[in-house]
Chains A and B, each alone.
Chain A
Amino acid sequence: MSKIQEIATAIESGKVKLIEGLVQEALDAGEDPTALLNEGMIGAMGNVGAKFQANEIFVPEMLVAAKTMKKGVEVLKPHLAGNSVGAKGKYIIGTVQGDLHDIGKNLVALMIESAGFEVIDLGVDVPAEKFVEAIKANPDCKVVGASALLTTTMDSMKNTVKAIVDAGCKSQVKIMVGGAPITQAFADEVGADAYTPDAGAAAVKAVELAS
């Protein structure tokens, strides 16, 4: 098995304890750090997301794979050219105003990061204006994600999308929405660019929207 393949396998199977050693070994053997990142790690996480969407693996398995990648990236970072990590661009994410739930949002953030984005996490209970400010402060950001868990905060989601549109940010960013009560129909109604039902699908969609 090639070093890159070994790293990909370790990430897919969530070998948190082995990953740092494997990445170091690959670097010592003269492997190209950028190839390790793109083919070994981001590629592996793509497979993980696909397996999750196909119900072949469960949330904790996806979570540990993403954490494994994060550890590997730490070893890789000093060897990469400045902007290789997060080369897909910036991704602004947050849970909408009035909603304190962050588990789903965090999982999506982790998967988006694993897909090669630099994630700007605004946290929970984020007012619409704060989304707009963050978008304006990061003119190179092309995708933004808003999360809501409660039916009572769906209006807040609607306001968030509207505020981003009204602020004239639609030429800069695409808007993704998600969370338990959110549906494709709701996303269409409020004028979001995409709805995804889970973290694996969100990562795939983010890549598509950013390119």
Chain B
Amino acid sequence: MIIIAEKLNGSIPSCAKAIAERNGDYIKEIAQKETDAGAAFIDVCASVKENELDTLKWMIDLVQSVTDTPISVDSPDVNVCLGALSACKRPGLFNSVSGEGNKIEAAFPVLASDEYKKWDVMALLCDDTGIPKTAAKRIEVFDKIMARAAEFGIEEKRVHIDPLIEMLCTTDDGEGISMVLEVMRHIKTTHPKVHISGAVSNISFNLPARRLVNQAFVVLAMNAGMDSAVLDPLSQDLMGVIYATEAMLGLDDFCAEYTSAYREGIFGAKK
């Protein structure tokens, strides 16, 4: 599982406070902890209204002062993402494009260039008509995005697809998240090299005991093909469930990853 660590995000109140106070130590501390917990990328999202690009670059510099873990440059504004690329010392994750507006036209030529050809890219399955309500419509958006990626020569293994995980508690009666899982299974079957990702904790929004809902979701999603995820790696139980599920899916010979992650203290009994 490719862990994209989510805690450096201005939409989280404690992080917003640190950003507002320009508390660099907080940013560094979280980045270090996420690295220690096994993050493959450290997501950095300023989520501020004014000076978003400058704030994002300030955060990226701080993260890179304590860790070599690649950055996931995160903004709903594609120009902010593009503006922050040069601040990154090594290839990371461009988070994100979607079928909306000119995001792909703006981002793909840059990501196809020699300078940024080692970057991965997150693509969200929405477009100018909104967040599609059916699996067929999301797959349509997926096909369009992949067609554009192919035109630009962006390889499938560089693409992470976020099928858009919405909160469970407002899904229509009896549907649950079966639609999202259907999208995941389709992608896994038709484009096995594409990474299937998503923001895991969205699923439990507005429900009590959220961590249990998150854990149940990752098991289902991984079984449907999810191999990348935006989540909190400091949530030890969630990490344990992920390692255990990988082993059960036959992705971890002799449970080697599971046992070594346990030994490293990523989950299990507190030492």
Contact B76 A59 (CB under 8 A): no
Q: State the Cβ distance, B78 to closest chain A Cβ, in Å.
A: 10
CA distance A52 to B265 in the complex (A): 39
Closest residue of B by beta carbon distance from A63: B170
Contact B169 A59 (CB under 8 A): yes
Closest residue of A by beta carbon distance from B47: A151
In the assembled complex, B250 has its CB within 8 A of some CB on chain A: no
B49 interface neighbour in A102, A151, A180, Cβ under 8 Å: A151
> Which A residues between 49 and 102 are near B, CB-CB below 8 angstroms?
58-60, 63, 67, 100-102
Interface SS, B side: loop
Contact B11 A155 (CB under 8 A): no
CA distance A103 to B48 in the complex (A): 22
Contact A103 B100 (CB under 8 A): no
- Among the listed stretches B125-133, B149-157, B178-186, which one makes contact with chain A, having 4 or more residues with CB under 8 Å of it? B125-133
Closest residue of B by beta carbon distance from A123: B130
Contact A152 B126 (CB under 8 A): no
Are A103 and B128 also in contact (CB < 8 A) when A58-B208, A151-B10, A180-B11 are? Answer: no
Q: State the Cβ distance, A183 to closest chain B Cβ, in Å.
A: 11
Are A151 and B170 also in contact (CB < 8 A) when A100-B126, A124-B130, A125-B130 are? Answer: no
CA distance A67 to B174 in the complex (A): 14
Report the count of interface residues on A (CB-CB < 8 A). 21
Q: State the Cβ distance, A178 to closest chain B Cβ, in Å.
A: 15
Contact A59 B11 (CB under 8 A): no
Name the A residues within 8 Å of B166 (CB-CB).
103
Contact A151 B128 (CB under 8 A): no
Name the B residues within 8 Å of A123 (CB-CB).
130
Interface centre among A59, A63, A151, A154 (most CB of B within 10 A): A151
B131 interface neighbour in A100, A107, A180, Cβ under 8 Å: A100
Name the B residues within 8 Å of A152 (CB-CB).
49, 52, 75-77
Closest residue of B by beta carbon distance from A154: B49
Closest residue of B by beta carbon distance from A106: B170
Contact B47 A59 (CB under 8 A): no
CA distance A155 to B52 in the complex (A): 13
Contact B10 A107 (CB under 8 A): no
Q: State the Cβ distance, A98 to closest chain B Cβ, in Å.
A: 9
In the assembled complex, A120 has its CB within 8 A of some CB on chain B: no
Contact A100 B100 (CB under 8 A): yes
Contact A60 B169 (CB under 8 A): yes
Closest residue of A by beta carbon distance from B167: A103
In the assembled complex, A210 has its CB within 8 A of some CB on chain B: no
Q: State the Cβ distance, A209 to closest chain B Cβ, in Å.
A: 25
> Which A residues between 118 and 165 are near B, CB-CB below 8 angstroms?
123-125, 150-152, 154-155
Are A60 and B170 also in contact (CB < 8 A) when A151-B48, A155-B49, A181-B11 are? Answer: yes
Closest residue of B by beta carbon distance from A55: B208
A59 interface neighbour in B48, B77, B170, Cβ under 8 Å: B170
Contact B130 A100 (CB under 8 A): yes
Name the B residues within 8 Å of A150 (CB-CB).
76
Q: State the Cβ distance, B169 to closest chain A Cβ, in Å.
A: 4
Closest 9 CB pairs of A and B: A59-B206, A60-B169, A100-B130, A59-B169, A152-B76, A124-B130, A151-B47, A150-B76, A152-B77
Instruction: For the A-B complex with A58-B207, A100-B131, A151-B10 known, give 8 more contacts whose Cβ atoms are closer than 8 Å.
Output: A59-B207, A60-B170, A100-B126, A103-B166, A107-B170, A125-B128, A125-B130, A152-B49
Q: Can you pick out 20 interface pairs between chain A and chain B where the beta carbons lie within 8 Å of each other?
A: A58-B169, A59-B170, A60-B207, A63-B169, A63-B170, A102-B131, A103-B167, A103-B170, A107-B170, A124-B130, A125-B128, A125-B130, A150-B76, A151-B11, A151-B48, A151-B49, A152-B49, A154-B49, A155-B49, A181-B49
